[in-house]
Amino acid sequence: MSPNTARRLVAPSSGAQVVLDALKAEGVDVLFGYPGGAILPVYDALHSSDLRHILCRHEQGAALAADGYARATGRVGVCMATSGPGATNLVTGLANAMLDSIPMVALTGQVPTQVLGTDAFQEVDTMGLTMPVVKHNFLVREATDLPWVMAEAFRIARSGRPGPVLVDLPKDVQLANVRVQQPKPHTNPEPTRLVTDIHPSIQLLKMSKRPVIYAGGGVGMADAVDVFRKFVETTGIPTVTTLKGLGLLPPNHPLNLGMLGMHGLEQANKAVQASDLLIVLGARFDDRVTGKLSGFAPHARVLHVEIDPSEVGKVRAADVSIVGDLGPALETLCHQLERPLQIADWREKCKRLQAEHTWDYEPPHEKVYAPRFLKMLSAAQGPHGVIACDVGQHQMWVAQHCGIHRPENHLSSGGLGTMGYGLPAAIGAQLGRPKASVINVSGDGSFMMNVQELATLKRYNLPVKIVVLDNSCLGMVRQWQELFLEKRYSETDLSDNPDFSKVAEAFGIASSRLWRRDQEAESINWLLNTEGPALLHVAVDPQANVWPFVPPGHDNSTMMTGESK
């Protein structure tokens, strides 16, 4: 019998056990979840397994923890929930991973196959519900399909442009005895176009006088940070990054102009607007980067290097494109160029822009100034620590003022902008990198979104350090209301916040408060040197805004600078 068609007999094993065996075969060491009736057979098998399960206190927390684990480690994150509300609670986390291209596998329980479609207890159409927010999903109807489905789920999640994959497991499939393992279907890897003629790319580079590298999260996901840095050094081209691209260059690198876009640094936006060539690496011309598209880098031609062909030309037409893995593409370009481009005058101009827009960290008041505090916190943490952000003003302050040295050290919800992301993501990062210093920077609005995960933090005694920047309002929304809605502050007042320090203490977590800037160094020292989890409740000015700011509907040459000057 041909080895390609033979069926291999295996000892009887439940579908649930096959699922766990598949996780172990994929190298999974930790998964995040919350049990319920329809996923109970998997949890029963888990009881005698050496897989480490982390009980989060909400399914959204489990999905976001798996996301943080994946970003911090580069491995596939795994989460698990029951049917019905368990599955629906995962959806935000799946959408978050989908928009940021994070490799995840989610397992959901489902009602038995014989009652599918009858509106059985806790039945929802999980496949239909999640289809728009996953890279792929499976509904397993036969237990014998489990081995290949699980292998495919992991292959799809990590290959090409990564993303989340969901496997829906009816209860009878989990309980069934699996006596025959179906041969794994032959699947070709996602096609990657091999570009042999890069002459047009080289010509564009050599012809340009004012080139700028615009790098996004795809560089880190391609595990191409080192070759990217080599490319920057080889070409000598000034570089800007997206929110997800922070850390691709060290923060003090002379060619690093910082983040571009709506809350990008002035030198970054001005360099892009003046450029004659954009080398776009693993980025997708997001609207928060470009502002008004017709005015974005109006004089620049575009060289776009991207693994996902659907992104090339989707928003901005490329003059030349390379579709394929970033690492090999950049290696080839480096080899062909061999020496820096003749753009000394342009580099000098960008250097002057950096000097001209140096940030002033000494405001006249005695309150805690968030940019200054976060810069001090980042410096004290050191270059190898992880910062997991929530979403809001504090997210942009972290991006602007914290020294990010590697992209896997900066966990931030980019495409979806998920409030409540930071704490579970920090939990996932700490479990994936137990020796790393992990800080969650949150705002008072975001923190309350998944505050229940303090119980997870305490249960496993994870040494995550939490900073809650409390301005008693939904700061980013309030800023827009101030600037564009004539100060009509509708439903952004959070002045009835609880005392977050006491909230932490109620969970058994050490806490402290910071109210004045002369206490900053002492408070940071306390936070980083307290054993186990700890929370620092920081009061910041409710009127403080994030600057610079490109107003909606404008291009990046229109930057409001406010108090940053």
- Which position among 262, 396, 419, 476 bears the catalytic label? 476
Q: How far apart are CA 238 and CA 347, in angstroms?
A: 7
Q: Which of 38, 312, 288, 310 is nearest to 163 (CA)?
A: 310
Catalytic residue check, 381:
no
Does the domain at 199-356 match CATH 3.40.50.1000? Answer given as no
- Which position among 135, 171, 270, 375 bears the catalytic label? 171
Specify the CATH superfamily of domain 370-564: Thiamin diphosphate (ThDP)-binding fold, Pyr/PP domains (3.40.50.970)
Does 8-181 match 199-356 in CATH topology? yes
354: left (phi over 0), alpha (psi -120 to 50) or beta: alpha
Catalytic residue check, 59:
yes
Catalytic residue check, 26:
no
DSSP 142: -
Q: Which of 147, 146, 197, 199 is nearest to 169 (CA)?
A: 146
pTM score: 0.94
* 166 Cβ neighbours under 8 A, 6+ residues apart: 90, 94, 105, 106, 107, 108, 126, 127, 130, 134, 136, 137, 138
Domain boundaries, given as residue ranges, for the chain:
8-181, 199-356, 370-564
- Which position among 17, 26, 32, 59 bears the catalytic label? 59
Catalytic residue check, 228:
no
Q: What is the pLDDT along the chain (565 residues), one digit of tens a residue?
A: 334 433 444 446 899 999 999 999 999 999 999 999 999 999 999 999 999 999 999 999 999 999 999 999 999 999 999 999 999 999 999 999 999 999 999 999 999 999 989 999 999 999 999 999 999 999 999 999 999 999 999 999 999 999 999 999 999 999 999 875 654 655 555 545 444 568 899 999 999 999 999 999 999 999 999 999 999 999 999 999 999 999 999 999 999 999 999 999 999 999 999 999 999 999 999 999 999 999 999 999 999 999 999 999 999 999 999 998 999 999 999 988 878 899 999 999 999 999 999 999 987 788 999 999 999 999 999 999 999 999 999 999 999 999 999 999 999 999 999 999 999 999 999 999 999 999 999 999 999 999 999 999 999 999 999 999 999 999 999 999 999 999 999 999 999 999 999 999 999 999 999 999 999 999 999 999 999 999 999 999 999 999 999 999 999 999 999 864 4
Joined together, the tokens standing for residue 413 give 């919800």
Q: Are strands 211-215 and 52-55 parallel, antiparallel or unpaired?
A: unpaired
**CATH placement of domain 8-181:** 3.40.50.970
Catalytic residue check, 122:
yes
